[in-house]
Amino acid sequence: MIKVYVSGPYTTGDTCVNVRRAIDMGNKLLELGYAPFIPHLTHFWNLIHRHGWKKWMKYDLSMVEVCDCILRLPGVSRGGDIEVLHADKRGKLVFYSVADLLKDMPPAQGLMIDPSIIEALETGPYLESDAEINSALTPNLAR
């Protein structure tokens, strides 16, 4: 799946509205077949464990690096502008609309995941312990 970093206003204006817009966009991207990263979700993390702006920006920029592209939401955002600049310097595409993203980086048609994992997700029973999860995800070297 193409990893899309959702960039946009957070503290400029109504923070709750900004978080909601980013989550709504991330959900739309997920439904279209992308793997969105929504940095605005750290809002909830920060409610429990406070960190300063610089620490969150370092975290966000590290996530920009692992994403394939950025979708920049409209609105004034110092952090968003820095994220776009960071992506540009690394040769990552920056999109300002979902239509452009769909045109230039259409979502992959299938996931590159072992079919047995997909089957387990669709049929259950679900793995409950760490040992079961590790066993299912560890390749069987005897094959």
Q: What is the pLDDT of residue 46?
A: 86
**β-strands 69-72, 35-37 pairing:** unpaired
Expressed in angstroms, the distance from the first to the final Cα of the chain is 27
Q: Which residue has the higher pLDDT, 16 or 142?
A: 16
Domains of the chain: 3-104 (3.40.50.10400), 113-143 (no CATH)
Q: What is the pLDDT of residue 108?
A: 78
pLDDT tens profile 39-94: 999 999 989 999 999 999 999 999 999 999 999 999 999 999 999 999 999 999 99
* Token output for 139: 């390749």
pLDDT at 24 over 90: yes
Cβ neighbourhood burial of 62 (10 Å; 0-12, 13-18, 19+): exposed
Dist CA 76 CA 140 (whole Å): 50
| pTM exceeds cut of 0.85 | no
Note if the bond before 115 is cis, omega within 30 degrees: no
Dist CA 92 CA 50 (whole Å): 30
pLDDT at 136 over 70: no
What percentage of the chain reaches a pLDDT higher than 70? Answer: 76
The rounded mean pLDDT for the chain is 86
Q: Report the greatest alpha carbon distance in the chain.
A: 57
Q: Which residue has the higher pLDDT, 120 or 35?
A: 35
Average pLDDT over every residue of 9-19: 94
Cβ(7)–Cβ(84) below 8 Å: yes
